[in-house]
Chain A
Amino acid sequence: MDLFIRYILIGIGNGAVYAALALALVLIYRTTGLLNLAQGEMALFSAYLSWWFTTHGVPIGLAIAFSILLSMIGGAVIERVLIRPVTAPGKSHLNVLIVMLGMFLAINAISQLLFSTDAEPMPKPWPSVSSPGDPVGRSARLLDIGNTSISWAVGALALTLIGLCLFLYLLLQKTKLGLALRAVASNPASARMVGINTSAMLMVGWALAAGIGALAGSMVAADRGSVSPGLMTVVLVYAFAAAALGGFDSPVGAVVGGMIVAIAESLTIGYVDALSTIELVVPFALILLVLLVRPTGLFGRRVVERV
């Protein structure tokens, strides 16, 4: 039983990261109808950026905040400079797909060029075992439940996700900007008619996604203890599985999907020895299952068009 709870907790920690990245995917999908293949590498760049700040004496929390801000600007610029020219109405979807593949490779390469080709140690924004003066790791525990304990890592990741969800809820539901973003997602032509600057909203959508990705990337790096060029590739696959499971147009679905995918992952590789080295089977199997059984995902809306 203890083992089971431990697997669940590992799942929740990972799930928070998958969910955050899935949220970034969903935000871009909802406003532009595109699946951002480069989302993971954008997050990798941001994670390296956080690391780079910490090497210049910036405390990790502040470093992540700087990275989020810069990433948001970067996201908006990417939309304006790289994405918009190839998504004009009437252009093939393949164009933007190629551009995103290019971004996937280029951003990874640029990260290695600018920052490092090696795994670099990433400090944690929460108490951990390695903190000096606490060799037994007591301070790494947030809460003890019987024989198992919730580590600060899991707690911090889960709290980050909760905070992120709250922020997005308030932004999307309670502000005028959020209303405009939802309107553009719902019906771009009408949105333009009522005076919403739809192209500005697309930039905002990308900026938000890049910022969320920066948070997710930095948290993964902190959780793993290091940032390396291959950090986000696998995480992105899980995030895709999470978004597919929840439905690509549903933020709630992204969060629930992220949790389901991560818990399924940790349980299967925990209990099924044969899967422990090929754990990527889990998200792929989930994606396949969702596409076969319920293509709109758990929370997705079926699109009905009037013709």
Chain B
Amino acid sequence: MSSPDPAAPTTAPPTGGALLEVAGVGVRFGGVVALDGLTFEIQRGSICALIGPNGAGKTTLFNVISRLYPATSGSVTFDGRDLLKVPPHGIARAGIARTFQNVALFPGLSVLDNVRVGAHTEGRVGFVRGLVGLGWPENRRMAAESMSILERLDLAHLASRPAAGLPFGTLKRIELARALASRPKLLMLDEPANGLTHAEVDELAATIHRLRDEFDLTVLLVEHHMAMVMAISDHIVVLDFGRRIAEGPPEVVRNDPKVIEAYLGTADDGDGGP
């Protein structure tokens, strides 16, 4: 892919090339340190992967960025704004959308409605106008746009089906569609390949690349599927026990001894090898 020209955007990025800056973020649950002074940044238009063993704090960081958990210390700056001052329901409007590890859709709503909800922050139809029906053209436009996103993710044929009862891989695509419907700047994917078949994972990697270009996204993903991470990431941040232990492009991270150690354990861990 052609690397995005950093000087191209007319709206000058307020803080250089970084869309998201995580600085010294710490999270404690009682005595447990989930994140410990984590610092890294994500460049605009890049695909950044967050990897590390289970319990390293990856999902915790996601929850801090989406304001589900409070940060005990540090700061998160998104697009020049202090993200930790934004209320949880303001995150989508700020330009961040995410998917969840276990899929958090609205089971009772149709697939199309699930995606339309994602576009919720897009238009502004107030209570009274919505009640009186003046929001009609707006609603129609939102529905059309949601439909076109469904088409791009090959879900259009399911639009009127309730989300409940569809296969897991399909639900993950619906959740992705919902995230895209809010027209985010930053798309956060929590283990998008989890539970998918081998073929689906290959397709997912291509889809993420394609969507990044089509929707002008910056992507942050948490993923255990190493082949996919190495294939699609521009930048990888490795966490272990809430700390950043390595960072860099895939080829650098892959050969970092600290990363190998975190994943495979040291020899005296008694791995029980041959």
Chain A residues, Cβ within 8 Å of B90: 195
Beta-carbon contact of B107 and A186 below 8 Å:
yes
Most chain A beta-carbon contacts within 10 A, residue among B66, B89, B107, B108:
B89
Q: How far is the CA of A190 from the CA of B107 in the complex (A)?
A: 11
Checking B89, B108, B113, B135 against A185 with a beta-carbon cut-off of 8 angstroms, the contacting residue is B108
Residue ID in chain B nearest A203 by CB atoms? B127
Is A197 on the interface with B (CB-CB < 8 A)?
yes
Q: Which of B66, B97, B106, B142 contacts A183 (CB 8 A)?
A: B106
Q: For window 170-205 of chain A, which residues contact chain B by CB distance below 8 Å?
A: 170-171, 174-180, 182-183, 185-187, 189-198, 204
Among B91, B106, B125, B138, contact of A190 (Cβ-Cβ < 8 Å): B106
- B160 within 8 Å of A by Cβ? no
Contacts of A174 in B (CB 8 A): 133, 139
Is B108 a contact of A177 with CB atoms below 8 Å?
Answer: no
Q: Which residues of chain A are near B139, meaning CB under 8 Å? A: 174-176
| Bound Cα distance from A262 to B200, whole angstroms | 54
Q: Which B residues from 9 to 59 make CB contacts under 8 A with A?
A: none
Contact of A196 among B68, B107, B120 (CB under 8 A): B120
Q: How far is the CB of B66 from chain A (nearest CB, A)?
A: 6
Q: Do A179 and B104 contact each other (CB < 8 Å), given the known contacts A192-B88, A194-B178?
A: no
Contact (A194, B120) CB under 8 Å given A182-B106, A182-B108, A186-B106: yes
- The reply to whether A179 and B113 contact each other, CB–CB distance below 8 Å, is yes
Quote the shortest CB–CB distance from A173 to chain B (angstroms).
9
- The reply on A56 being an interface residue by CB < 8 A is no
Query: Of all chain B residues, which has the CB nearest A183?
Result: B117
- Residue A301 interfacial (CB < 8 Å): yes
In the assembled complex, how far is the CB of residue A181 from the closest CB belonging to chain B, in whole angstroms? Answer: 10
| B114 and chain A: residue at smallest CB distance | A183
Inter-chain contacts of B93 with A (CB < 8 A) = 195
Docked Cα-Cα span, A196 to B117, in Å, equals 8
Minimal beta-carbon separation of B113 from chain A (angstroms): 6
A306 within 8 A of B: yes
Name the CB-closest residue of B to A198.
B89
- Count CB-based A-B contacts (< 8 Å): 89
The docked-state distance in angstroms from the alpha carbon of A176 to that of B143 is: 10
Given contacts A176-B135, A177-B127, A194-B178, contact A187 B89 (CB under 8 A): no
Which residues of the other chain, A, contact B117 by a CB distance below 8 angstroms? 179-180, 183, 191, 194, 196
Min Cβ gap A163→B in Å is 15
Q: Is B195 an interface residue (CB 8 A)?
A: no
B88 contacts A182, C-beta separation under 8 Å: no
Most B C-beta atoms less than 10 A away, residue of A170, A180, A187: A187
Contacts of A306 in B (CB 8 A): 102
Which B92-137 residues sit within 8 Å CB-CB of chain A? 92-93, 97-98, 100, 102, 104-109, 113, 116-118, 120-121, 123, 125, 127, 130-131, 133, 135
B128 to chain A, nearest CB (A): 10
Q: How far is the CB of A250 from chain B (nearest CB, A)?
A: 10
A194 contacts B121, C-beta separation under 8 Å: yes
Chain A residues with Cβ below 8 Å from B130 are 175-178
For the complex, what is the distance from the CA of A170 to the CA of B121, rounded to whole Å?
21
B218 within 8 A of A: no
Contacts of A180 in B (CB 8 A): 117, 120
Q: Is A179 a contact of B133 with CB atoms below 8 Å?
A: no
Instruction: With A179-B113, A192-B88, A195-B93 as known contacts, state yes or no: A186 contacts B108, CB within 8 Å.
Output: yes
- Whether B182 is near chain A, meaning CB under 8 Å from some CB there, is yes
Q: With A179-B120, A189-B104 in contact, is A194–B182 under 8 Å at CB?
A: yes
CB contacts under 8 Å to A, within B251-273, are none
Partner of B105, one of A171, A190, A197, A198: A190
Residues of B within 8 A of A183 (CB): 106, 109, 113, 117, 120
- Cβ < 8 Å to B, chain A residues 100-134: none
B92: chain A residues within 8 A (beta carbon): 193-195
Query: Is B123 a contact partner of A190 (Cβ separation < 8 A)?
Result: no
Closest CB of chain A to B259's CB: distance in Å?
31
Q: Which residues of B contact A204 (CB under 8 A)?
A: 127
Which B residues lie within 8 Å of A196 (CB)? 89, 117, 120
Interface residues of A (CB under 8 A from B): 170-171, 174-180, 182-183, 185-187, 189-198, 204, 301, 306
11 pairs from A and B in contact (CB 8 Å cutoff): A175-B130, A179-B116, A182-B108, A187-B106, A187-B107, A190-B105, A192-B88, A193-B98, A195-B182, A196-B120, A204-B127
Query: Apart from A176-B120, A183-B109, A196-B120, what 17 extra A-B contacts exist at CB < 8 Å?
Result: A175-B139, A176-B125, A176-B130, A177-B131, A179-B116, A183-B113, A183-B120, A186-B108, A187-B104, A187-B105, A189-B68, A190-B105, A193-B68, A193-B88, A193-B104, A194-B97, A196-B117
